[in-house]
Amino acid sequence: MEIEGNFNTVEYRSGALRLIDQRRLPAEESYVECRSAGEVAEAIRAMTVRGAPAIGVAAAYGMAMAVGRSAHLGPEAQIAVLDEAAAVLSGARPTAVNLFWAIRRMREAAEASEFAGEKLAEELLELAHEIHRDDIATCRLIGDHGAALLSPETSLLTHCNAGGLATAGYGTAGGVIRSGFREGKVSRVFVDETRPFLQGARLTAWELSRDGIPVVLITDNMAAYCMRLGKIGAVVVGADRIAANGDVANKVGTYGLAVLAREHKIPFYVAAPMSTIDMDTPSGDEIPIEERPPEEVRRIGDTLIAPEKVEVFNPAFDVTPAGLVDALITERGLVRLAEGESVGSLYP
Ligand code: MRU
């Protein structure tokens, strides 16, 4: 499979799912192998693999591996193993809807299949490959639609990592950056470090540097001043779940950037595949927001930076109201949410 940037975020080979270990980047480029749905669920929970589309693709392979490992059982027992895998994978992280979307697709395909045993395992593995391939193609379309919004030589700001590492390759916001840079629309990218897990500093800065795209790393609290100084021409971020009314859950800190962008009259764009839209969730108020362990805030890496027992609030995501999103960029095209266009317009 053709992947941009010389690394494979997710790769299935010889019965195992190989994941680039995103906890260790950029210091070390190492890989983790998962051989069961339980191991994939643990990799998602521990953020070895992260980013909404990437965890969806990984979960699809987790489901395929569960069916493969139970091919010797009878049809009913095989479906029971699949249901168990679905439950374990669904419990890994709550916010990114791509996870549940991929699990449901795999489960429905098994239900609809005329096969059982090895044949069913082959069919589901092929579907996981299809979800993988489609994600790359989707990101390229998102990249092209997003680049069309930018004026030449725009200086962008992004948050967290919505690049090749967060997807099967190319990226959503990262795709807009890549396509835009190739077309001369992007001069450089300001990257928020993205406390506490530092996806911006560790992952986005690494990815963009590898692509030769000029990066300026800032701490999260510098974004407002950069906007005030006129250094930012547009903000582009990814999403973990978009509710039916257009509210966007993404990495905590996104909402603050959207408010700042509006204050400074800077366009704020969200790039995401259709699989991130959850029409069953009416608004951002109903999106489950993951809370992560307090140690992520009390420490940077292994270093304690706060009193050992200080109370911590560590939501991994926040919700940006649709009205602050100038355009939602999908593979099917744009939705100008701030102008009142609706997410429903993407569905024929
Ligand atoms: O906690 P993470 O690193 O999984 O959060 C990732 C994000 O918030 C990304 O912006 C989002 O998943 C979009 S990835 C294309």
Please indicate whether residue 251, judged by its CB atom, sits closer than 6 Å to ligand 1.
yes
For ligand 1, whether the C-beta of 319 sits within 6 Å is no
Q: Ligand 1 centroid vs 168 CA: distance in angstroms?
A: 13
Whether 164 lines ligand 1, by a CB cut-off of 6 Å, is no
Cβ of 199 below 6 Å from ligand 1: yes
Predicted local distance difference test score (pLDDT) of residue 5: 56
* Confidence at residue 154, expressed as pLDDT on a 0 to 100 scale: 98
Look at residue 157 in the predicted model and tell me its pLDDT. Answer: 99
Residue 50 beta carbon below 6 angstroms from any ligand 1 atom: yes
142 lines ligand 1 (CB under 6 A): no
pLDDT of residue 2: 40
3-class secondary structure, 254: helix
Residue 186: closest CA among 216, 160, 206, 159: 216
Our answer on whether the CB atom of 245 is closer than 6 Å to any ligand 1 atom is: no
CB distance 167 to 203 below 8 Å: no
CA of 34 to the centre of ligand 1 (A): 21
Is 240 one of the catalytic residues?
yes
Is 28:41 a contact under the CB 8 Å cutoff? no
Atom of ligand 1 nearest to the CA of 250: 8
Residue of 45, 49, 159, 161 with the most ligand 1 atoms within 8 Å of its CB, for mutation: 161
- Cα 160 to middle of ligand 1, angstroms: 7
Report the candidate in 328, 320, 186, 173 with the shortest Cα–Cα distance to residue 248.
Answer: 320
Q: How many CB atoms lie within 10 A of CB 311?
A: 8
H or E stretch at 277? strand 277-278
Angle between the 117-147 and 173-182 helix axes, to the nearest 10 degrees?
50
Buried b (16+ CB within 10 A) or exposed e, 73-106: eeeeebbebbeebbebbeebbbbbbbbbbbbebb
pLDDT the model gives residue 3: 41
| Burial category of 176 from C-beta neighbours within 10 Å (exposed 0-12, middle 13-18, buried 19 and up) | buried
Positions of the chain with pLDDT under 70: 1-6
pLDDT in tens, 281-295: 999 999 999 999 999
Give me the catalytic one of 135, 192, 240, 247.
240
Atom of ligand 1 nearest to the CA of 276: 13
With a pLDDT cut of 90, the percent of the chain lying above it is 96
